[in-house]
Amino acid sequence: MAATSEAMNQFDESMKKQIAVILKVVLLNKSLKEDNIPCEIDEGLFLGSIGSAGNKVGLKNVNVTHILTVAGKIAPAHPGDFVYKVIDGKIVMISEVILTLMMFYVF
């Protein structure tokens, strides 16, 4: 009986992980389709989702030249068209983001 209960728990955990992966894919797909315009948060400084990071025409239209990606597993979408800095989003600290932004400003 205990073995059956353990097997059911393992199955439940496996299903939860699979559902989480599917949800991530659905949300990513939605972001790519619907959220593809970078938002200007200060003069010449834009914030955007993965959808806007992949929108080369939209980025060029607002004169974006440098892109800071805070998600280490996501490769630059247009490496020949923009200057990229990629940092791992899981271990990022606010001081690292500020330092990186300052480096881009000097760039």
Q: What secondary structure does DSSP assign to 79-96, as a single string? A: TTTSEEEEE-TTT--HHH
pLDDT of residue 56: 95
- Distance between CA atoms of 1 and 38, rounded to whole angstroms? 55
pLDDT tens track for 12-64: 888 888 888 887 777 766 766 777 888 888 888 888 888 888 999 999 999 99
Model confidence at 95, in pLDDT bands (50, 70, 90)?
A: low
Per-residue pLDDT reduced to its tens digit, 59-88: 999 999 999 888 877 889 999 999 998 877
Residues 3 and 57: their CA atoms lie apart, in Å, by 57
Which segment of 3-12, 62-71, 97-106 scores lowest on mean pLDDT? 97-106
Sign of CA dihedral 61, 69, 99, 42: positive
Q: What is the largest CA-CA distance in the chain?
A: 66
User: Which helix (H) or strand (E) covers residue 58, if one does?
Assistant: helix 56-61
Res 36: pLDDT:
84
